[in-house]
Amino acid sequence: MMKEHGPAFKKAVIELDKCPLCRGRAVTMGTFYELPCDRCNASGWVAAATGEALPLDELVTQLSLKLQAAHRQIEQLKNPRATGPGAQYQEGNRLGAGGSNYTGD
Ligand SMILES: [Zn+2]
């Protein structure tokens, strides 16, 4: 069984957990309307290890990584055939998978 390495993540993925204050909703209920949750920088997520909000610049990247992973999962659910060892690391660079992938090189 071959396990492809693919391009290594430059950014370390930080394990995220739902913010305990807003329960992942990114907002808290004010008296009359919802307020941005200041516990988690209004992201709904905190670092699982520390339970603290990430700095905004780090938070953006981590949310992006999380979103990309979620999208990959959705794509795999939509296209079960494309799922294979290392397929999730290819990020649209699968040559010849569908015959129509354009790498833009
Ligand atoms: Zn929160």
Binning pLDDT at 50, 70 and 90, where does residue 75 land?
very high
Burial of 22 (0-12, 13-18, 19+ CB in 10 A): buried
Residues 64, 98, 88, 9: is their CA dihedral positive or negative?
negative
Question: Which residues have their alpha-adjacent CB atom under 5 A from ion ligand 1?
Answer: 19, 21-22, 37, 39-40
pLDDT in tens, 21-68: 999 999 999 889 999 999 999 999 999 999 999 999 999 999 999 999
Is the pTM here over 0.85, yes or no? no
Q: Which two tokens stand for residue 32?
A: 């009359």
Q: How far is the CA of 64 from the centre of ligand 1 (A)?
A: 18
Q: How far is the CA of 44 from the centre of ligand 1 (A)?
A: 5
Q: How far is the CA of 52 from the centre of ligand 1 (A)?
A: 10
- Domain regions of the chain by residue span: 16-84
57 SS3 class? helix
Cβ proximity of 46 and 20 under 8 Å: yes
pLDDT in tens, 17-27: 999 999 999 99
Q: How far is the CA of 30 from the centre of ligand 1 (A)?
A: 13
